[in-house]
Structure 1
């Protein structure tokens, strides 16, 4: 550890004297420790000249590995002394209506994990990455491991007030309804399953967030199509009513995205296990 610390300090600060001042030892001690490391590795880490030293190609490779190792040690220290921290990115509607109502159950099992929940807006081109990201859609999303949280079915929903103004007795009546749209959930698969000869609606209000879509339907703006699990909150409150008895599996649902390396961290693994068990 002493040799690695001397090497990293000299490489970062650009000289043995600077490293000696930082480590509170003599320059000759720094030189001795680096020679010990070079002997251990069998490679010359610095190119020495009358004007000073600079990293050799082997030194540059070694420096990257040493810094990664020091970073991991720092993370371990922070985990033990400050508790485990976990950042989670989630679409706002999933967080508000599905995740947050269950978080007290997570903390009952894992009180030492500090969870930081961030909003991840749907349909961003390059969204910010977190330890775990929850996304709606179908894989592949990016280069990370994707874990499906649950399967779902599409529901057609409308507010009781809207139905009072415009009764919808069968799927064919949708031809005269105001259809609310979202690029996240197309109408066409449900229409085909309902036996309608129809195309994807080309007109009508468009919403890129499913929560906005459901709120618009609940306000009486029109008829929405959405995965049923997400709409449960609006149905339980009586704001939305499911129409017709046409069961269509949703092609898109919610997934947890995580780097395979990050998934090995205990707090990440604990959260993923809890997430899958809670929403299975």
Structure 2
């Protein structure tokens, strides 16, 4: 049997507005914006083909058909709310599903996410890993940190972090191969490769008409690339945020002051309907605020040029 049932979020919006007689109060209870509630009411009315409320704009007085339909909606919502009971009880706490590339999650998010949860005591967070550029992950996410060119069809895209790159290597590798005084001295080095971080922009900035380096291993993760560099396998391109811990500890050494703007950056992507959720909007504001203020993270960042404590965190490996 096929069912023609309005979306559940439209039904809950209708019941809440009818009960509270206020769009703003309904928005507060549902944890969405007032415009989102209004959109859901219009969507429901268009699907039903009759008006739910009468009166002038801003007055929420039920029409005759609206009163009749409300009783049906309340009965159905009550049935869903009580089956199963344990699920209904656990739904008092919402879950924000976040996806992120492994390196950004490891180097940036993991240490800071508990701070966001402390600010939202009725919220759980699920952090899963995605594959850079491809975006492959284990489950649908409410918001995703993506590493790429910023073109993501059907998504709301928010620029997050775009930093210049510079060459680094481990101190042992530097001791074995001597100093690198000029960019052309890299000719004697093993230049580690990652499809995520092409050398071309930096080579162009250095005036070196060299082909893209070839290597026995292509690291499809920025963290793995830096680990290979720490282990003395060669020279790699790094970004300040991802390499801050290594540089601070001396595990990596920066070779030149010369930097270049890379091909890819970090972006937040959200489905348009998820932008209406308060926890999603709060997460965007919180993360952009941390990235934009180096003093809050003890990391020096370069932003992309204009061009209660009972919350919990779950980590899923995608």
Q: TM-score, normalised by structure 2?
A: 0.62
Alignment of 1:191 with 2:203, yes or no, is yes
Task: Give distance in 1, aligned partners of 2:157 and 2:245.
Answer: 26
Report the CA distance shift for 1:118/1:164 in structure 2 as closer, same or farther (over 3 A): same
Q: Is residue 120 of structure 2 the alignment partner of residue 115 of structure 1?
A: no
Per-residue CA deviations over 1:98-146 (Å, capped at 9, x if unaligned) read 0111123212322221111011122437545310111111121342111
Kept in 1, the 8 Å contact 2:132–2:148? The answer is: no
Which of 86, 92, 95 aligns to 1:85? It is 95
- Assess, with a 3 A threshold, how the Cα gap between structure 1 residues 216 and 238 changes in structure 2: closer, same or farther: same
Quick check: 2:97–2:126 contact (8 Å CA) kept in 1?
A: yes
2:258 match: 246
Contact 2:165 2:239 (8 Å CA) reproduced: yes
Structure 2: give runs of 5+ residues left out of the alignment.
Answer: 6-47, 51-72, 82-86, 293-318
Question: How far apart, CA to CA, are the structure 1 residues paired with 2:256 and 2:199?
Answer: 14
Instruction: State the aligned residue count.
Output: 215
Secondary structure at the aligned position of 2:257 is classed as strand
| 2:283 aligned residue (271, 275, 280) | 271
Choose which of 117, 133, 138 in structure 1 pairs with 2:149.
138
**Which sections of structure 1, spanning at least 5 residues, go unmatched?**
1-5, 9-39, 43-65
Instruction: Flag the structure with more relative contact order, 1 or 2, with Cα contacts below 8 A and sequence separation at least 6.
Output: 2
Residue aligning to 1:257: 269
Q: How does 1:54-65 map to 2 (within 5 A)?
A: none
Q: CA RMSD in A?
A: 2.7
Contact 1:123 1:208 in 2 (8 A): no
Distance verdict in 2 for CA 1:81–1:130, change over 3 Å: closer
Deviation at 1:164, TM superposition (A): 0.1
Q: Is the 8 A contact 1:159 1:219 kept in 2?
A: yes
Aligned residue in 1 for 2:45: none
CA contact (8 A) 1:179 1:204 kept: no
Q: Deviations over 1:153-179 (max 9, x none)?
A: 102110000000012221111111001
Counterpart position of 1:155: 166
**TM-score for the superposition, normalised by structure 1:** 0.70
**Aligned partners of 2:133 and 2:148 also within 8 Å:** no
Given the superposition, is the C-alpha separation of residues 125 and 279 from structure 1 closer, same or farther in structure 2, using an over 3 Å criterion? closer
User: Which structure has the bigger radius of gyration?
Assistant: 1
Corresponding position of 1:200: 212
Which of 129, 146, 152 matches 2:140?
129
Are residues 1:235 and 2:240 paired? no
1:182 maps onto 2:180 in alignment: no
Mean Cα displacement is larger for which, 214-223 or 145-154? 145-154
The 5 Å alignment of 1:66-77 reads none
- Kindly report which structure 2 residues correspond to 1:21-60, keeping only aligned pairs within 5 A, or say none: 41=49
Q: Secondary structure of 1:248's partner? A: coil
CA distance in 2, matches of 1:163, 1:120: 33
Structure having the larger proportion of residues in strand:
1
Instruction: List structure 1 runs of 4+ shifted beyond 6 angstroms.
Output: 77-80
